[in-house]
Amino acid sequence: MSLFKKTILASSLMCVSSGAFAAAFQLAEQSVSGLGRAYAGEASVADDASVVARNPALMSQFDSAQLSVAAMFVEPDVSLTGTSTNNGMDEALLDESSIAPSAIVPAAYYLQPISNDWFVGVGVYSQFGLATEFAADYAAGQLAGETEIVTVNTNLSAAYKVSPDLTVAFGVNHVYADAKVIRNFGASMLPVPAQTQAVHLEGDDQGYGWNIGLSYQLDQDSRFGFNYRSETKIVFDGEFSNQLPAGAPFYGTAGTSLPGSLELTLPAIAELSGSHQVSEHSALHYSVLWTGWSSFKTLEAQVDGRGVVFSKDENFSNSLRYSVGADHQYNESLKLRVGIAYDESPADPYHMSISIPDTDRLWYSFGAEYQLSKTSSVDLGVSILRGKTQNFVETDNLGQAWGFESKGHATVAGLQYNMSF
C-alpha cells in the first residue's frame, strides 16, 4: 500500500529537516566552516574539530584540544504544481507551495591529541534526513502526508601519524533513529473522507557502522585526504495503525496498533579531496564525494501476522557530488570563503515521488571565519541551493495517476564557535 510508502525512507537528522539539501535524503551539513566553501576539500582541510565528521585523519594537524559547536538554519522552498489526473479531478488540487518545514541542524565536535602520534575525537551530527509535510486532506494523500524522522549519529575516532606526511584513522559510528509517519486516504471516488488516516507509524532503532580516513601531505603547500564510511543497517521497530475498517482492503486496523517494522540500509560514503596553498594568503580546495545508493533498491514494510504490507521498487543509483572552493586570509582576524558544488540525484526517473522530490542541484556558497582571540573563533556560512524542475506521474493504490511538476530549492545559513585549549 502506498501508505507505508517511503514513509520511513529517511533516516537522519537531529532536527526534522527537508530532503532538499543534498542528493535523495543525504545531508551535507556537518560544519559551518565547510558550508562556506560548499564543502569542497572536506577530507583535506583542517579548519577545526569538525574534521571528525568528514576525515578524522586530519586530527593530526592540531597540537592542542579543539572544540567546535555549530547550528545551521535551513529554509527549504519545495513546491508542487499539479499537471494531470486520470480521475476527472481538478489538477489544481495537487498544488502545494511548501512541503518541507524549516529546521535547525546542530552539530558538536571535540578532538584531543594524546601524544605526538595519537589523536582521538568525538562528534555528534547527522548525514541523512528527510521531512515533508502535507495537509491532512491533500488530494494525493496516499502518496505523501507527514514524515518526521530524528536521527543522531555519534562518531568516536582515533588517528595515528604513521610518518610526518601520512596519518591514518579509524572510527565507529552509532546511529539512533526515531520516526513518526502519517499517511491519509486522500481524494477518491470512494465514500472515504480524504483526511482518514491510512497509515500511522511510529518506530525507532539504532545501528552501528565504521569509517576509515587518511591524510597525506604531499609538500608544504598540498594535502590530499580520503574518507570512507560504511553502510549502516536500520530496522525501524514500532507500531502500525490506521482508521480504515478492520479486514478492509489496504490492511485496515480500525485504529488498533500492530507491531511493524521497516528495514533501511543507509548507504556507504567515500570522499576524495585536495587542498593547495596557491599563494601566501589563498588556498584552493576540491572534493569528489561518492554515495553508494545502489544498495537502496526496494523499500519493504512488514506487520506482524500480516507479512509484507508494502513493497516498492526505488532502484536508486550511485551518485557523485563535485565541489570546488577557495579561502582567502584577508587579514590576521578575517578569513573569507567561497565555493560551488554540483550534486547528482540518485533517483530513478521512472520511480519519482512527491515524498522524496529529488533532483540534481547546484550549491552557491560563501562564508567567513573571524578570530575572536588566539584561542577562539566564529564561522559564518551561507549556501543557496538551486534544483532542477522535475515532471513525473505517480500512481496510488487505487490506480489514480497524479501528475506533478516539482521545484526544490533551499537556503542554508550557519553559525559555528571554535575553541582551542
Q: Which residues of 369-389 are buried (b: 16+ CB within 10 A; e: fewer)?
A: beeeeeeebebbbbbebebee
Amino acid 250: pLDDT: 64
Q: Please, where are the H alpha helices in 49-92? A: 51-54
Q: For 140-157, how does the pLDDT look when each residue is reduced to its tens digit (9 = 90+)?
A: 988 888 877 777 899 999
Q: Which residue has the cell 505523501?
A: 144
Instruction: Give the predicted TM-score (pTM) of the model.
Output: 0.87
The Cα 336–Cα 379 span in angstroms is 10
* Residues 6 or more apart whose Cβ sits within 8 Å of residue 294: 316, 317, 318
User: For residue 420, how far is the Cα from the chain centroid?
Assistant: 29
Q: Report the alpha-carbon distance of residue 265 to residue 233 in Å, rounded.
A: 4
For the chain, domain boundaries: 32-420
Query: pLDDT, tens digit, for every residue of 202-214?
Result: 788 899 999 999 9
CATH no. of 32-420: 2.40.160.60
Q: How confident is the model at residue 247 (pLDDT cuts 50, 70, 90)?
A: low
Residue 244 has pLDDT above 90, yes or no: no
pLDDT tens across 1-49, in order? Answer: 333 333 333 323 333 333 434 556 777 789 999 999 999 999 999 999 9
Cα Dmax for the chain = 73
Q: What is the pLDDT of residues 268-279, one digit of tens each?
A: 999 999 999 999
CB neighbour list of residue 213: distance below 8 Å, 6 or more residues apart: 43, 55, 56, 57, 58, 157, 159, 168, 169, 170, 171, 225, 226, 227, 228
Quick check: 8 and 203 in contact, CB under 8 A? yes
Contact of 292 with 267, CB cutoff 8 Å:
yes
pLDDT of 310: 63
User: Which residues make beta-bridge pairs with 386?
Assistant: 362, 409
Please count the other Cβ atoms lying within 10 Å of the Cβ belonging to residue 317.
15
Tens of pLDDT, residue by residue over 295-347, are 877 767 778 777 776 666 677 889 999 999 999 999 999 999 999 999 998 88
How many Å apart are CA 134 and CA 234, to the nearest integer? 26
3-state helix, strand, coil in the chain (%, to 5): 5, 55, 40
> 322 - beta bridge partners?
288, 342
**pLDDT tens-digit readout, 34-46:** 999 999 999 999 9
User: Residues near 328 by Cβ (< 8 Å), separated by ≥ 6?
Assistant: 281, 282, 283, 335, 336, 337
Give yes or no for a contact between 125 and 153, defined as CB atoms under 8 angstroms apart: yes
Look at residue 372 and give its three-state secondary structure. Answer: coil
Neighbours of 415 (CB within 10 A): 15
